[in-house]
Every structure is written in structure tokens, then in C-alpha cells.
Amino acid sequence: MQSTPISTRIDAVLASDKRPDEGVLDDVYQKYRDSHHFMPVTHFIDHSTMGPEALVALGLGHRVMDWVSHHKVRPYEPPQSGISVPSA
């Protein structure tokens, strides 16, 4: 049994304008729109939306909801101290 080379399979998914299940990303962005963009303690960037984007790009959009079920939304709370910056 001969299989398709992985580079050909990836090119077929990444090269298309409309990938399968791409619409699920709208739900992901909606879910995390008010989420804090940094992880607590480590202060590394939170990849809650990047994982689903990669899954869709690889043709695995059907796995996105499983991915987001493991990533909590952490509401962003702006700092209560700091300098005042006038808006006008």
C-alpha cells in the first residue's frame, strides 16, 4: 500500500482558501474575546486560540472543540494602579 507523502497532504490543506471546519474559529474567537492574553504565574502568552487555528490549518477542525474544552477563559482585569494617561 502506497501512501501520499506528508508534504503533499499538508500542501493540499494549507494551500486552500477555505479549509474544512474553518467556521468553528468564529466560535473560538467569540469564546476567548475577553480572556486574559497571558498565562498566570509564568506570564507566557496564552495559546488558547492558536491551537484551534493550527488544527483547522491541518484539516483537523473537528478536534477544535475538544481542544478548547481544556482551556479556560480567564477574564481580563485591567490593573488598578499605574499612571494616568489622558484620552484627549
Altogether, the residues listed in the chain come to a count of 88
Q: Which residue segment(s) compose the domain that 55 sits in?
A: 20-68
Q: What is the pLDDT of residues 26-79, one digit of tens each?
A: 999 898 888 877 766 666 777 788 889 888 888 888 999 998 898 888 887 777
In sequence order, the 6+-apart residues with CB closer than 8 A to the CB of 25 are 49, 52, 53, 56, 64
- Residue 75 inside a domain? The answer is no
pLDDT of residue 66: 93
- What pLDDT does residue 3 have? 67
Q: Is residue 50 part of a domain?
A: yes
Cα separation of 69 and 28, whole Å? 10
Domains of the chain: total: 1
Does residue 7 lie within any of the structural domains?
no
40 inside domain: yes
- On whether residue 13 sits in a domain, the answer given is no
Residue 5 maps to a domain? no
Report yes or no on 87 lying in a domain.
no
